[in-house]
Amino acid sequence: MTFVLDASVALAWVFDDEASPAADHVLRRLEHESAIAPAHWPLEVANALRTAERRGRLQPTELPALRVMLEGLPIEIVPVELSTAIGALEMARTHDLTAYDATYLHLAYVRDLELATIDRCLRQACEASGVRLAVP
């Protein structure tokens, strides 16, 4: 079964201080299942890695191994059309989310998929909108 993957989960795989049983659960699921993520997911992950690098949380020498790990996962990046982005705005407004986070929620909602996130606000939005969570 496919599920939607939020960047918060992938970043928990990268940073020890963000690790969680929920993120580990998702990584184990990816051994047998695939995930999808909206087009901004790679940029969100890359931006977090760059920020971590600037703050000294991540050394440039660590990036090649992280790249291999992340690129090796069965994650399909799906395009985000303008109509989809505008449609996600209502969810952003309703649940007080960023447009980026609302796009994960919207994608899971319209495709009737679970959403893997460890972001507290996004988890609450899932519960309020009837989107199933992919993590316990």
Q: Is the pTM above the cut of 0.85?
A: yes
For 33-51, write each residue's pLDDT tens digit: 999 999 999 999 999 999 9
Q: Does residue 136 surpass a pLDDT of 80?
A: no
Q: Does residue 1 surpass a pLDDT of 90?
A: no
Longest CA–CA separation in the chain, Å: 42
The rounded distance, in Å, linking the Cα atoms of 55 and 94 is 34
Q: Give buried/exposed letters for 8-27 (b at 16+ CB in 10 A, else e).
A: bbbbbbbeeeeeeebbeebe
Percentage of the chain modeled with pLDDT above 90: 93
Q: Does residue 8 surpass a pLDDT of 90?
A: yes
The rounded distance, in Å, linking the Cα atoms of 92 and 80 is 15
Residue of 37, 117, 109 lying closest to 80 (CA atoms)? 37
* Residue ranges of domains in the chain: 3-129
Locate all alpha helices (DSSP H) within 4-77, ordered by sequence.
Answer: 7-14, 21-29, 41-54, 63-71
pLDDT of residue 120: 95
Which pLDDT band, with edges at 50, 70 and 90, does 75 fall under? very high
Antiparallel, parallel or unpaired: β 114-116 and 3-5: parallel
Overall average pLDDT of the 103-132 stretch? 96
Kindly report the CATH number that applies to the domain delimited by 3-129. Answer: 3.40.50.1010
Taking the alpha carbons at both ends of the chain, their separation in whole angstroms is: 16
DSSP string, 89-102: HHHHHHHT--HHHH
Q: Does residue 83 surpass a pLDDT of 90?
A: no
**CB of 109 closer than 8 Å to CB of 38:** no
pLDDT of residue 88: 92
For 96-109, write each residue's pLDDT tens digit: 999 999 999 999 99
Which pLDDT band, with edges at 50, 70 and 90, does 94 fall under? very high
Q: Does residue 84 surpass a pLDDT of 90?
A: no
